[in-house]
Structure 1
Amino acid sequence: MRILLVTQYFWPENFRINELATQLRDRGHEITVFTGLPNYPSGKIFPGYGFCRRLREDYRGIPVIRFPHLPRGDRGFLGMAANFVSFALLGSLLAPFLLRGRPFDVIFVYEPSPITVGFPAVVMRALRKIPLVFWVQDLWPESLTSAGNIRSPWILKPVERMVRFLYRRFDRTLVTSRGFVPSVVRHGAPQDRVEYYPQSAERVFRPLEVPPDAPERGLLPVGFVLLFGGNIGVSQDFPTIMEAAELTRSRTDLHWVIIGSGRMEDWVREQVAARRLGKTVHLLGRHPLERMPRFFACADALLVTLKRDPIYGVTLPAKLQAYMACGRPVLAALDGEGAQVIRESGCGLAVPSGDPKALAEAALRLASLSGEERCSMGRRGRDYCSVHFDPERLLLRLEEILRDARVEEMHKEA
């Protein structure tokens, strides 16, 4: 199939869609990526890119067509809103011209957020009369309230109308969590066109044996290491992590290690200093995705947290699959579907979101287990991941979905 992949984030930004695009290409499909200028998570356009620079390039044999838009800037609300709106507007205006002469069978949209990434795809669907498959990984308008703390009806009501407009124009809507289904249906997606399609971990995430002299070990403190890897954002509920770390501060051999960057990074650093947690809380900054499995292998357990909020209760965080694929025990402060996966798999310990006392107690309990008990948790998680989030099986299912959408469109034309 000739697939137009529309995404607001693509290489050199680190997102799951990079590997998925190459997997589809390896299976014989012709992929064209339509995206903007890389600027996540720093909010600044990456070196070498610009409004008139590197707008067309090749990523592992995949043509990438970029268009200029405003970057996130300082990550404030206005900067982020300008980023979202400019991507949707300029992408919609430029897509017909930048993609002219390129035939496509189906459009596939990757949406970790915002949903406005759907506008250029909707325009191409209308002009080319080709089906559109939309992969939802973040619920709108709910995420504006939960992550953006936006509660004004003057903003939320127009956004809700926009969301309805978009969902009604998708031929298939895929959701990464079963808990997302009621929301997308309520906002206009036909029930029979919605399907659960979870994320799988990138293939780089796998169990590793790391030698004693590995450089990653030299960056980690000596003792029991709880490692958080990923975005340091509002959704990840770092206030709960900081409070839990404060509750365990007397255990100087228990270390909370954070690898990543994001909107809350400066706040976390300030809290570490204000609470005098420098001996047990360590921020190591960003590291390449390819190194993360090595860090995971050096840690004693891996940490995943989300805010206490209805939207996060139905969210299955992507880092959970990555942790499980690496065969490491998991400590989680999650509600709903994420906690259910941990309990079903037996891959670790889960406590309610927003409960620092429970998180601290679970951390101490995990540290008290034998190494073999924690290894057993990791193996169970790996086995569960192989059954429920197998990349090859999910890739085959995605091909079926895209192909079925194309066949249905051809029948309509006939």
Structure 2
Amino acid sequence: MISVLIITNYFPPETGAASNRIFHLAEGLQKHNYKVSVLTPLPNYPTGQIFENYKGKFKSSSIENNITIHRLWIYASNSKNKLLRLIAMLSYSFSLFWFFAWNKIPKTVIIQSPPLLVAFTSVFFLRSKKRKIILNVSDLWPIAGLELGAFKKNFSYKLLEKIERFNYKHADLVLGQSNEIINHVKSLFPEKDTFLYRNYPDFIVPEIPERAGSKGKLKMVYAGLLGIAQGIYKLCQELDYTHVQFHIYGAGAEREKIQTLISNNSELDIIYHNEISRDKLHEALLSYDLTIIPLLNRIYGSVPSKIFEYARLGLPMIYFGGGEGESIIKDYRLGWVAEAGNYNDLNTVISRVNPSDLKLNNRNRIIKIAIENFDFDKQLDALIEKV
């Protein structure tokens, strides 16, 4: 039995795309007869506070679904203060160094990036000719931070670029969740071994119930992180509610601003449902006409995992973020595309949605496309063969 260690910043019971992606990878490898262990911080995302069941602990180890999980101490914070965020990352890096010093590390290690500093710590201390380092890159930092306005091209940015290149250079294999990520890595290290590893979901495809279309307004839903990159607060302000009722599920930095906006503007047809479990969310999503996948700014390398999850649910999508995600929506005919950042175009697209495209036959068509093209097991088999 081959042992593999996965190092990640996010893991259940935390929610979100990153947590789900790593959980499915760990579970999939375990089912393929790998002995899987996971290194992750004590749960704290997205609140920035250690979850109640883990408070006061320096370390927590458990075996769940035959996977050994080591949860390490972190100074948890989701503060906008860059220094506090840096301290949080450095604290987890310190915990990783402590773990590496006192524990035997498997010959195969999968490291999640970003965060860059955590990935750097892992690559720096574990790189060895006798060990295979697999770097799983889900977003291109620091480029993404620059496009989001979090960074400026100064000394700190150049330092992060050097860290990024160090991580790629010393990885034996780089997994990228988009072709843009793969192309970026290849532009820096043309001979680097890479593999396109999308964030495909792994759940049983539900039976879509026959349902009557909404009378009057379309019921449009957003579910996920209410962070700066998604721009849900601005979206709430810019939508034309003549044709749509907007439903929101999730938590994050913009939640309070969104709730305040709703309470102070009763004319906005917005309903906030808080955050619910993934299973309950899947069930709830089936009752909506369509969903929206927005990004405040087009982020090079980013392909929202919601595309693949919603396709498996048969949920028609409006994509409002540009880049590679836009191409996937168009190529597989999964819904509609509005020009990134153009809210007038978005409102026009919504007003022109044909109700016939929301019916059961089209939803089943989308599910069929997802089963044929976004299959988690086939992708994992190809990755295992490569590894």
Contact 1:210–1:298 (CA<8 Å) still a contact in 2? no
Q: Which residue of 1 aligns with 2:335?
A: 348
CA RMSD, 1 decimal: 2.5
Aligned-pair CA distance for 1:6? 0.8
Q: Which residue of 1 aligns with 2:277?
A: 288
Higher helix share: 1
Aligned partner of 2:355 among 346, 351, 370: 370
Q: Are the structure 2 counterparts of residues 211 and 350 from structure 1 closer, same or farther at C-alpha, using a change threshold of 3 Å?
A: closer
Instruction: Please state whether the residue corresponding to 1:119 is helix, strand or coil.
Output: helix
**In the aligned structure 2, how far is the partner of 1:46 from the partner of 1:39?**
6
Check if 1:302 corresponds to 2:298. Answer: no
Aligned-pair CA distance for 1:273? 4.3
Q: Which residue of 1 aligns with 2:44?
A: 39
Aligned-pair CA distance for 1:262? 0.8
TM-score (normalizing by structure 1): 0.84
Q: Percent identity among equivalent residues?
A: 20
**In the aligned structure 1, how far is the partner of 2:215 from the partner of 2:231?**
23
Q: Are the structure 2 counterparts of residues 145 and 2 from structure 1 closer, same or farther at C-alpha, using a change threshold of 3 Å?
A: same
Check if 1:207 corresponds to 2:209. Answer: no
**In the aligned structure 1, how far is the partner of 2:208 from the partner of 2:373?**
24
Q: Are the structure 2 counterparts of residues 209 and 250 from structure 1 closer, same or farther at C-alpha, using a change threshold of 3 Å?
A: closer
Aligned partner of 1:226 among 220, 226, 247: 220
Aligned-pair CA distance for 1:148? 5.2
Which AA in structure 1 matches 2:39?
F
Instruction: Please state whether the residue corresponding to 1:55 is helix, strand or coil.
Output: strand
Q: Which residue of 2 aligns with 1:407?
A: none
After TM superposition, list the pairs within 5 Å mapping 1:5-16 onto structure 2: 5-14=6-15, 15-16=19-20
Contact 2:59–2:73 (CA<8 Å) still a contact in 1? no
**In the aligned structure 2, how far is the partner of 1:159 from the partner of 1:84?**
14
Deviations 1:78-109 (A, max 9, x none): 33222222222331233231x23x6x231112
Q: Are the structure 2 counterparts of residues 129 and 396 from structure 1 closer, same or farther at C-alpha, using a change threshold of 3 Å?
A: same
Contact 1:335–1:352 (CA<8 Å) still a contact in 2? yes
Q: Give the total of aligned pairs.
A: 380
Contact 1:329–1:375 (CA<8 Å) still a contact in 2? no
Which AA in structure 2 matches 1:207?
P
**In the aligned structure 1, how far is the partner of 2:215 from the partner of 2:3?**
49
Aligned partner of 1:20 among 22, 25, 30: 25
Contact 1:221–1:255 (CA<8 Å) still a contact in 2? no
Q: Which residue of 2 aligns with 1:323?
A: 310
**In the aligned structure 1, how far is the partner of 2:224 from the partner of 2:86?**
23
Q: Which residue of 2 aligns with 1:140?
A: 141
Aligned partner of 2:249 among 256, 259, 281: 259
TM-score (normalizing by structure 2): 0.90
Aligned-pair CA distance for 1:44? 0.3
**In the aligned structure 1, how far is the partner of 2:218 from the partner of 2:311?**
19
Q: Note the residue ranges of structure 2 that are not aligned, 5 or more in a row.
A: none
**In the aligned structure 2, how far is the partner of 1:292 from the partner of 1:160?**
38
Q: Which residue of 2 aligns with 1:410?
A: none
Which AA in structure 2 matches 1:389?
F
**In the aligned structure 1, how far is the partner of 2:356 from the partner of 2:164?**
48
Aligned-pair CA distance for 1:277? 5.0
Q: Are the structure 2 counterparts of residues 202 and 242 from structure 1 closer, same or farther at C-alpha, using a change threshold of 3 Å?
A: same
**In the aligned structure 2, how far is the partner of 1:96 from the partner of 1:377?**
55
**In the aligned structure 2, how far is the partner of 1:185 from the partner of 1:172?**
12
Q: Are the structure 2 counterparts of residues 46 and 75 from structure 1 closer, same or farther at C-alpha, using a change threshold of 3 Å?
A: farther
**In the aligned structure 1, how far is the partner of 2:344 from the partner of 2:171?**
44
Q: Which residue of 2 aligns with 1:235?
A: 229
